Amino acid sequence: MIRRISIAAFLLFCVLPSHTAQAQALTHNVVLIVSDGLRWQEVFTGADPTLLNEKDGGIWESAEALRGKFWSDDPTERRRKLFPFLWDVVTRQGQMYGNRNLGSIAQVSNPYAFSYPGYSEMITGKGDPRIDKNDFGPNPNINVFEWLNHERDLAGKVHVYGTWETFRDIFNQKRSGLPVSAGWTIPPRTGTPDGDKLYAQLIATTTRFDDEDLDNALLQPPLLESIRSTHPRLLFVGYGATDNWAHAGRYDLVLESAHQFDAFVCQLWETMQSMPEYKDQTTFLITTDHGRGSGLVDWKEHGVGQKGSENIWIAIIGPDTDALGERAHIQRITQSQIAATIASLLGKDFRQLDPQAAAPIEDVLPHGSRR
């Protein structure tokens, strides 16, 4: 049975102080970043050689050109070509979970392995069997972002940016009151009137791959300007292109969008590290909402019909997270642990709100807060 938490109980938790055994943490800001449907296989081994062709991978450019960008016979070098920031910076300075070949298992705990259930699980701390479709409507579960937005030191400093319009329901914008900038209705915010005018023109004239999902490249300018101007302390960023191109059967564009995702995360990190509000006091959690199938056909889809869709990956970098690199032969972790991990990094205990929420990932927390 899913435990229901009344709004009255939620408000009671909001006015009570948060008490944790948290050590003096260096993390002052947290950013949760998601690339929709990006498989663990590409993250840990790079481009799949069986899909670098027109028949199985649906590629339009020549296989030689694609190999020139992303191929190496060494899978370690191959993944670095695809994700240079994830491997050269995040993993070296932080931790990476989910390489099943090394006995590191990261999975969803919801029974569906598609987008809405996955996003809901990671921000509420548990899977909800009721959420069984992407057009479910407003999320009945209270999430860690809205909960923290009622904490005195974080109020008004929580923001959601995402390419997918459905984030408004996933974060229940109407109930939570969170500022959610999602889909094709993201307001122009570039820092200059001319830039805003150009951005609005691009939004109006861009041919849309999906009416509900903004292009990743059009998310980045207003996101960066919002950081510079409003200085959020807790931020969600959701990029959708990797999932869209996989469903379209274009493996070449899965690789291109995955590589660009890595560049966007790098740009976000470098922008924040250049600002005194964020430098050396910001933790990034980078992940995906679900896995996908494997083989020559099932890589395009995900869900209970595609075996392996429950397998994900999680990367963390920040001042409180030990540089343990790529994890191996460790206890299984789940997507549901992300919510409590976010709260713990900010010195809060999300399970004060809901004891059924999963525990945080302890190895990424300040030492004094680990059991």
**Three-point CA angle 69, 293, 261, nearest 5°:** 40
Residue 355 has a pLDDT of: 95
Residue 190 has a pLDDT of: 84
Residue 177 has a pLDDT of: 96
SS3 helix, strand, coil % of the chain, rounded to 5? 45, 10, 45
Verdict on whether the full-model pTM lies above 0.85: yes
Four-point Cα dihedral 191, 196, 202, 204, nearest 10: 140
Was domain 25-369 assigned CATH 1.10.3720.10? Answer: no
Mean pLDDT split into 10-residue runs, the chain, 371 residues: 44 43 78 98 98 96 92 97 98 98 98 98 98 98 98 97 98 97 91 92 93 96 96 98 98 98 98 98 98 98 97 98 97 98 97 96 84 65
Distance from chain centroid for Cα 38: 10
Residue 369 has a pLDDT of: 74
CA distance 4 to 55: 49
**Three-point CA angle 174, 343, 165, nearest 5°:** 35
Domain spans, the chain: 25-369
Listed in sequence order, the DSSP H helices in 150-212 are 167-170, 173-176, 193-205
CA distance 170 to 183: 13
Four-point Cα dihedral 16, 17, 20, 22, nearest 10: 150
Element housing 239 (H / E): strand 234-239
CA distance 286 to 278: 17
